[in-house]
Each structure stands twice: as C-alpha cells, then as structure tokens.
Chain A
Amino acid sequence: QVQLVQSGAEVKKPGASVKVSCKASGYTFNDYFMHWVRQAPGQGLEWMGWINPNSGDTNSAQKFQGRVTMTRDTSISTAYMELSRLRSDDTAVYFCLSGSYNYWGQGTLVTVSS
C-alpha cells in the first residue's frame, strides 16, 4: 500500500533552518508531484508548494518564496522540504502529500522557540 513516512519532530531556534523528509513507497515516486502543506496548532491547512520528482521543478506559494526549498532524491524515493529563517509563527505540523492529494504523510511537528 502507499505510504509516505516523514522524519521526526524538530525543535529549532528563531532564525535557524529545518529540513523535513518524506519517503514514499507503494507507488512509482516519479508518477506524482509531491506537495507540502502545514497546519499551525489548532488552525487550518496552508499550502506551501510542490516539487515535480521527474524534473525537480518546484513551485511555492508566494508567502514562502525565498524561504522554502523543495528537493528530492529519486534513488531513495524521498522528497525534502527545507524552511529557512524560522520564526515562532512557523511552529506547525508539516505534511507531505502526493497522488491527487489523496496520499498524506503522518506529519512532522516543527517547534520554533528560543
């Protein structure tokens, strides 16, 4: 079955960077874009961007442009999302999702605190 397994929780200081991984299995990694969405505590869902595993092309929401970097390693079917210059309001659960938005990772909690 399809699985997206994300890396574990992170605690970072303001101004630092965080890199979250998402390992896919159960389907051909290159067949679907990998998207990233985040959810602040008690809040709704916010789109961040996507990466095309085939080409490496990316597209991110304007809010995150210049701070988010999405990459992939096709040899291990893994996508990465790196967010830089972290602020306290970046504290959230970060999800990867694929397919036609129907495969989700379990989420990675990123806490930004001094």
Chain B
Amino acid sequence: DVVMTQSPLSLPVTLGQPASISCRSSQSLVHSDGNTYLNWFHQRPGQSPRRLIYKVSNRDSGVPDRFSGSGSGTDFTLKISRVEAGDVGVYYCMEATHWPPAFGQGTRLEIK
C-alpha cells in the first residue's frame, strides 16, 4: 500500500502570514491515464472533511484563491498565502491513484 507522509504535523501560524504543508508518497502518484490523483482536505473540529484541491492543483468551487496546490510524482505541497482564523483545523492529503486510497496523517494548523 502507498504511504502518505505529511510534514509538519503541527503548524502554528500568525494571522495574515503564509503557510505550507508538504505531502510525500511512497510511490509515484501518476496514474496510467496520465492524471495524478492527489487531493487536499480540510477538517474543522467536529465537522466532516471538505475537499479543497483535486488532481494536485485544481481548487474546488468556493475555495478561496489563497489556497494553492502544486507538485508532481511523489512530492506535493499545499500553500495558504495569508492565513485567516477560519483556516484552523487539520489538513489531509489523500491519494486516489492506487488501491486502497491513502490519507496522510494530517497537519494541524493553529493560530499563534
């Protein structure tokens, strides 16, 4: 099975400052169809996860352009250009190229 490794696991950030989360996979996430099925989710306490980014860099509807995804192969990054109070919670990367799909351990973003 693919192992997804996120870093850091805890991310204290000052309001208005940028934040970056890394996600590395144990195998290439390039599918045989040419797509890379790497998603990013945000989970607030007590809520269901919400998808932010799909196929590495595509923002879901309603996701602010402060959020961006990048990367290729086995190395991926989620960036928040200016952190706001509502961004707190846990961020997960998830690969859906292989079976079974795999989540990273999660990165907890908090406001300093």
Contact = CB atoms under 8 A, between A and B. Distances in A.
B48 A106 contact: yes
B106 A44 contact: yes
B48 A101 contact: no
Given A44-B105, A45-B92, A61 B100 contact: yes
A53 interface: no
A45, A105, A106 pick with most chain B CB within 10 angstroms: A45
A47 B100 contact: yes
Interface in B85-112: 92, 94, 96, 99-106
Contacts, number: 37
B100 A104 contact: no
Interface residues of A, number: 16
Contact of B103 (A47, A100, A104): A47
Nearest to A60: B100
A95 B94 contact: no
A47 B101 CA distance: 7
B57 interface: no
B49 interface: yes
Query: How many interface residues does chain B have, given as a range?
Result: 10 to 19
A101 B49 CA distance: 10
A107 B48 contact: yes
Interface of B: 39, 41, 48-51, 54, 60, 92, 94, 96, 99-106
Interface of A: 44-47, 49, 59, 61-62, 95, 100-102, 104-107
19 contacts: A44-B105, A45-B49, A45-B106, A47-B100, A47-B101, A47-B102, A49-B100, A59-B99, A62-B100, A95-B48, A95-B49, A101-B51, A101-B54, A101-B94, A101-B96, A102-B51, A104-B49, A106-B48, A107-B48
